[in-house]
Amino acid sequence: MSLPAPTTAMQPSALRPPSVHARAVITWIAIFPLVTLGFFAIAPFAADWNPVLRAFVLSVVVVPLAVYLVVPQLMRLYGKIRTAQR
């Protein structure tokens, strides 16, 4: 008795992950606005802080927002755009 052949054949329409260049651009598109808004948000109370402390506090907020919320949404949008182009 033989087992059925696996059905993992690559279909031409199968989506590949974005290239490293596309991921870099998507990540920049997510990070830049978050950092800009973050600077404006903490400016009133962090003006006298050491720049390293300001960068630390900003990164504590920006990195999780980007990784868990913004970048995944942008990746989905990128996938939809790539699918629509085919």
Answer yes or no: is 1 within a domain: no
Share above pLDDT 90 across residues of the chain, in percent, rounded to a whole number? 73
Total domains in the fold of the chain: 1
Evaluate whether residue 3 is within a structural domain: no
Residue 70 within any structural domain of the chain: yes
User: Does residue 60 form part of some domain?
Assistant: yes
pLDDT tens string 14-38: 668 899 999 999 999 999 999 999 9
Please report whether residue 7 resides in a domain: no
Task: For residue 1, name the pLDDT band (cuts at 50, 70, 90).
Answer: low
Query: What's the CA gap between 70 and 31, in Å, rounded?
Result: 9
Cα 32 from Cα 44, distance rounded (Å): 20
Supply 81's token pair.
């755009």
d(CA 74, CA 67): 11
14 part of a folded domain: no
pTM confidence score: 0.74
Does a structural domain hold residue 37?
A: yes
